[in-house]
Structure 1
Amino acid sequence: MKAHTIAESLIMPAAKILVSHVIGEEAVAKLESVSVSNNTVQRRIEEMSVDIADQVVEGVKSSKYVFAIQLDESTDVTNWSQLLVYVHFTQSNAAKTELLLSQDLSSTTTGKGIFNVLDNFFKQNELDWGKLVECMTDGAPSMFGRKSGFQAHVKVVAPNATAVHCFIHRFALCAKVLPPKLLLCLNRVIRIVNFVKTCALNTRLFKLLCEDFGSDHICLLYHTEVRWLSRGNTTRRLFELRDVLLVFFKEKEHDFQKNLEDEEFISRLAYLSDIFGALNHLNLSFQGPDCTVTEFISKLGTFVRKLDLWTKNVESKRYGMFELLTTLEREPTDEFAQEIVHHLSLLKTELKNYFPDVTYCAYVANPFSVDPADLPVGTGEQEELIDIQVDETAKTKHKESSPLNFWKAEYESNIPNTSHISRTPKLTLTYNWAVVGPQLE
């Protein structure tokens, strides 16, 4: 993140001093012949970038099997639209995920415009739309519109490709549901943060006040809709600095003082911090290079069970699962307890609404824990699963590798019926595709 001139101003002088002490002045003379100008550094960076892009494209083209893509368009802080496209493919019997395309969208961000950008890239690099098995995007109309959305245009050139609404994006939408009073509390939190941070003077004064109080933090955090984790971070930071904020607004004689003195507001703030923290933790657990959709479904089912448990605990006036809420001296009122129960119920309903068709294929994760009789009859999967389970070598390899690489390396070519699992991105090839959102943050 430094200017390219740093090579001339810092790196080269330091290198000369180093070699003059370790090797001698002759080595210094040789270093002087190395070009480290701004243009040279820029050209070398561009050459490395082009080489990496060529390797990714060649990897996709040489992939023995199909590939899947995931893309997202978002506007950055300079109001410039950025398109990121990730590709998931197999290479040397291993699954790989790489950044396929990163490009500015200079004009419109409609489904047709985004498709044209990607289609031109495919044509320039001779990529085959026919090998595309899945295209994953968010649920915006420009992406999922039936007539003019991006997915509709993809269906024309890749009719066998499955259009999927990103699991992580769906989960983020579920987390947005809030009852009226909790939503009012969150909006007030946002207003408090904006009041302090949008004014340079207020920001400086608040920083000094935090230092006088010896606080762990010296600033508040913005809430931004495009950053899915910001709600939890924003509410928790404000809760931790609530005493400092109270003094700050008393000096300002601002109406926000009343909110920070209101125990009901603080209780709601504590609960929001706790529940958003739990949602953020789950969101982050869905991400990573080794996380598969089967794990996603398992963790999602676990969270739904936790919601049921938390609901019962709140109805019994037990709040130990909410860390910050239990630090308050005042116990939640019956009215507030009903708000919590209502919110947990809404969360569960939204999860079931956004994930109605998600099924967990147990033998993808562990084919040795499933009874073959539970599989469909007449498809050949029962017999093939028996072949796998009696193979001692397969048991050893399953323990040593991930489920995805196990199916890819050992059974893709030998077992035609069950191998469709490893070619279905919704089951194993897509391991969340959430990487676009966090990277854009």
Structure 2
Amino acid sequence: MSRVMHGDKLAAELEQVPLSDGTVSRRITDMAQDIKCQLIDRVKKSGRYSLQLDESTDVSSTAQLLVFVRYIFEGKLNEEMLFCTQLEGSCTGEDIFNKLDSKLKDAGLSWGECISVCTDGAGAMLGKKKGLKARVLQVAPHLNFTHCIIHREALACKTLNAEFKHVLDTAVKIVNYIKSRPLNTRLFSTLCNEMGSEHKGLLLHTEFRWLSRGNVLRRLYELRDEVRIFLTDQRSPLADHLSDADWVTRLAYLSCIFEKLNGLNVSLQGENTNILYLNDKVQAFARKLVRWRERVEMGRIDMFSELEEFMEENALSVNSIKASITAHLQSLLDHFYKYFPEGDAPDQYDWIRSPFNVTTANHLASDMEDALIELSTDRTLRTALDGKTLDEFWVSVALEYPQLSKAALDVLMQFGSTYLCEKTFSALTYIKNKHRSRLNVEDDLRVGISKIKPRVDLLCSAHSAHPSH
């Protein structure tokens, strides 16, 4: 890094500085502890906070509990890793609660100040009797539990009737036939080069990564001619499917619909999202499903471009697949309504989204509704909203409209997904690999991903420049 930033001369000088085996590790620990102290101080000053947490197993088969916190600091909501700690034993809801409760107490944080907890919905997390949710609600009955919206979207999408499931399973077999054999992979790549194909290979499907389905199907559909030729040369019976126009038609549809589902999934990811924004995305997609079904019933498939193109090129009638597509879209819609009840995105929160366009809110207490009327007619505040995020705006009016501000921030502060945990587990996999499997990863993670800068000057002043030996 020093060579890139300052040149070879300074890098060479730094290489001459003698460091013991544990020096770098100790300095990382020092910086991590300083960041942690700053974070806990900020959370305490915030007055209330929300959590997202998830559990995963690292390369050494050790269960790691990762917890993120959202809090108010410097006029807006901030997100940081609160801690990453090992779980011993069976990792039940009781185990997770005990570890979480102990860590919060060590940090001096109270359950009474916690607004909500977001988890991935596993049994150990949301079990009604022995899950984490049950144990937390015993000590904090006011707290709101949310099931990760990204996880719910993945569950809602896992619906295929026998007809489309057969196509998907066969597609996976075709890909695995080529990708699981190194020789086949090389031969297929050579064929793609000879045919001038845009892609030089297929993508491997994995059940664990839901997004892989859409990418795998799209790549297979785009390389269908190359795959058919290759399988024919290999005398594989799988080649017959790619010569079947009816089968390829269904493959084209699956490629299109999974691409749209993937697009929704990606739109739900990211930092600094709130439950209102995420639910709006889901509700919009559900409305699209309704409209797509209606269009297919009318014989329109232009929203599925690859499917439309294939059917036009082969002079196929939409009627041959209309019933199958409408049934699948209806099944998808039913599952979306199951995992995302319309109550997840009620209109009662419109006053938070657009405070200057909503002047009545019957569900609010009279004094709060009166305050909303006053706020909505404040032209100065209307101007102040421009250029600010929702959380920044509601933090900024806390002194003038404390009740409204608190109610709005109690909603905006809630995590809607466990995206930060999933993203950080990816970083953990890189940091704690098979070559460093004994690493206690929390300090390295904190220094690596935290937006809080360590107070290096303060840390340096606490160390002697020339320690005696």
Shift of 1:430: 2.8
Any runs of at least 4 consecutive aligned residues in structure 1 with deviations exceeding 6 A, and if so which? 14-17
Matched residue, 1:71: 53
Query: Is the counterpart of residue 414 in structure 1 residue 400 in structure 2?
Result: yes
Q: 1: CA distance between counterparts of 2:425 and 2:192?
A: 30
Find the residue that maps to 1:95 and give its secondary structure.
strand
Q: Work out the CA distance in 2 between the residues paired with 1:133 and 1:378.
A: 20
For residues 204-353 of structure 1, the aligned pairs below 5 Å read 204-328=186-310, 329-330=313-314, 331=316, 333-353=318-338
3-state secondary structure, aligned to 2:91: coil
Q: What's the counterpart of residue 462 of structure 2?
A: none
Displacement, 1:384? 0.9
* CA–CA distance in structure 1, aligned partners of residues 209 and 303 of structure 2: 25
Paired residues of 1:422 and 1:429 also in contact (CA < 8 A): no
What are the superposed Cα offsets for residues 59-87 of structure 1, whole Å, 9 maximum, x if unpaired?
22332x31111112234677554432221
Query: Using a 3 Å threshold, how does the CA distance of structure 1 residues 437 and 80 change in structure 2: closer, same or farther?
Result: same
Do residues 60 (structure 1) and 43 (structure 2) align? yes
Q: Distance in 1 between matches of 2:396 and 2:142?
A: 24
Alignment partners' CA distance in 1, 2:220 and 2:22: 46
Q: How does 1:104-143 map to 2 (within 5 A)?
A: 104-105=86-87, 107-143=89-125
Q: TM-score, normalised by structure 2?
A: 0.81
What is the count of residue pairs matched by the alignment?
420
- Corresponding residue SS for 2:34: helix
Which of 167, 175, 182 is the aligned partner of 1:200?
Answer: 182
Structure 2: unaligned runs, 5 residues or longer = 427-469
Give how far 1:432 is off. Answer: 4.2
Q: Deviations over 1:33-55 (max 9, x none)?
A: 42467654444344433433333
CA drift of 1:340 comes to 0.8
1:18 and 2:3 are equivalent in the alignment: no
Over 3 Å counting, the alpha-carbon distance change for 1:34 and 1:255 in structure 2 is same
- Superposed CA deviations along residues 248-307 of structure 1, whole A, max 9, x for unmatched, are 211221121112222222111111111111111122222333533222233323222221
Shift of the alpha carbon at 1:173? 1.1
Distance 2:171 2:60 in 1: 26
CA distance in 1, matches of 2:303, 2:258: 13
What's 2:370 paired with? 383
Structure 1 pair 370–270 and aligned structure 2 pair: CA distance change class (3 A): same
Q: Secondary structure at the match of 2:305?
A: coil
- Between stretches 400-409 and 374-383, larger displacement belongs to 374-383
Q: Is the contact between residue 294 and residue 428 of structure 1 (CA under 8 Å) also seen in structure 2?
A: no
Find the counterpart in structure 2 of residue 400 from structure 1.
387
Could you say what secondary structure the match of 1:421 adopts? helix
Residues 290 and 431, structure 1, Cα contact 8 Å, conserved in 2: no
Kindly provide the CA deviation profile for residues 81-127 of structure 1, in whole angstroms up to 9, marking residues without a partner as x: 44322211111221011122234445423212222332332233232
User: What is the deviation of 1:433?
Assistant: 4.2
How many Å separate the matches in 1 of 2:54 and 2:11? Answer: 49
Structure 2 vs 1, CA of residues 221 and 390 (structure 1 numbering), >3 Å: closer, same or farther? Answer: same
Specify the SS of the correspondent of 1:368.
coil
Q: Which structure 1 segments of 5+ residues have no match?
A: 1-6, 20-26
72-81 or 195-204, larger mean C-alpha shift: 72-81
**Distance (Å, rounded) in 2 between the aligned partners of 1:16 and 1:296:** 43
Say whether the 8 Å CA contact 1:66–1:423 is kept in structure 2: no
How big is the shift at 1:154? 1.6
Query: In the alignment, residue 421 of structure 1 is paired with which amino acid?
Result: A
The answer to whether the Cα contact below 8 Å between 2:79 and 2:272 also exists between their aligned partners in 1 is no
Q: Following the alignment from structure 1 to structure 2, what is the Cα–Cα distance between the partners of residues 220 and 282? A: 23
SS in 2 for 1:423: helix
Q: Does 2:27 align with 1:44?
A: yes
- Cα pair distance change 1:83/1:216, threshold 3 Å: farther
Q: CA deviation at 1:431?
A: 5.1
Q: Say if 2:359 and 2:376, in contact at 8 Å, map to a contact too.
A: no
Greater RCO, 1 or 2 (C-alpha within 8 Å, sep 6+): 2
Q: Which amino acid aligns with 1:188?
A: T
State the partner residue of 1:366: 354
In the TM superposition, residue 421 of structure 1 has moved relative to its aligned partner by: 2.8
Residue 142 of structure 1 and its aligned partner are, at CA, apart by: 1.3
Deviation string for 1:317-340 (max 9, x for gaps)?
Answer: 111101211221233553421111
SS at match of 2:273: coil
| Aligned AA (1:338) | A
Q: Distance in 2 between matches of 1:15 and 1:338?
A: 62
Q: CA 1:246/1:48 → structure 2, altered by over 3 Å: closer, same or farther? A: farther
1:436 Cα shift? 3.3
Q: Quote how far apart the aligned CAs of 1:311 are.
A: 1.2
Pair 1:263–1:32, CA change in 2 (3 A) = closer
| Structure-2 change in CA distance of 1:207 and 1:39 (3 Å) | farther
Root mean square deviation, CA, Å: 2.8
SS of residue paired to 2:176:
helix
Report how far residue 385 of structure 1 moved: 1.2
Mapped partners of 1:135, 1:243: distance in 2: 49
User: How far, CA to CA, are the matches of 2:193 and 2:88 in structure 1?
Assistant: 44
Separation of aligned partners in 1, 2:271 and 2:241: 43
